[in-house]
A = this chain, B = another copy of it.
Amino acid sequence: MSTENRPVRWDEMTWPEAGKVTSDAVIIPVGAVEQHGPHLPLNVDTVICQEVALGVSALTGVPVIPPLTYGVSGSHGDFAGTVALRPETLIAVVEDVIDSLHASGVRQFILLNGHIWNNGSLDVSAEKLRVRHKDSRVRALGYVTMYPGPEVNGRVQFGRGLMHANFFETSVMLHLRPDLVRMERATSHVDVDSFWDYRMDQVSETGVWGREVSAANAEHGKAEFERCVQTTAQAVSAAVREPWPSSAHRPD
């Protein structure tokens, strides 16, 4: 773990410093600017993901680049405000970012995702990286993947309802940016399991997908946020020390 507990911001270094950075790993936060119901700002995914990334960097010393602010948000449909990239555009952006960082000596790439509809594009980016840069390794993961899930807090789990502008996201924003949360407009939307993956405007006219949103609170948000940071940091810290594998035959 880093001794100073300050994040290593790639973009605040000079070029000679970037050439001498001790870690050959980097964290690439990927967010979104998209509708989050009537009570949350458009920037929820970018704000949370960037804050988690900075926290992880502070705990591990792995540098973090500025977030890819815009993501794949077309599946919200016709809400105002959303600024969406086509999947192909995000794939191109990540390819260029990875190629540049690789030219600077980076060999371990953590694509830290703050928006679930980015998953497909980031999986494609990981595939392309594996094929293109044979000396590198990659992992695309969501910042909430690394911890056991909200039920560890003793609360009931909300299935897919966990996903958007919900109790969890509202709580974390109340912790990180309470000035941007309009709790007086908070509302819930009873989530329903379905086979199909619908557009948001097909299933929720408010843009909210989750229960008990008005019960969100900063205390819960702080606990969840810190758990996200610490669990991800433990994984990343172990990852950058993970030995490079051998392909030698290992029969059982």
Contact = CB atoms under 8 A, between A and B. Distances in A.
A124 interface: yes
Count class of interface residues, chain A? 35 or more
Nearest to A99: B84
A87 B203 CA distance: 30
A207 to B, nearest CB: 6
Contacts of A123: 119-121, 123
Query: How many identical chains are in the complex?
Result: 6
A10 interface: yes
Interface in A20-79: 33, 35-43, 46, 65-70, 72, 74-75, 77-79
A167 to B, nearest CB: 10
B127 A196 contact: no
A230 to B, nearest CB: 16
A3 to B, nearest CB: 20
A11 interface: yes
Contact of A242 (B195, B211, B250): B195
Given A75-B127, A202-B247, A12 B195 contact: no
A199 interface: yes
Contact of A81 (B14, B92, B124): B14
A160 interface: no
A212 interface: yes
Given A33-B65, A123-B123, A194-B245, 16 more contacts: A12-B41, A14-B36, A16-B38, A70-B93, A74-B127, A83-B97, A85-B92, A87-B128, A89-B92, A89-B93, A120-B123, A138-B196, A139-B195, A190-B252, A203-B246, A203-B247
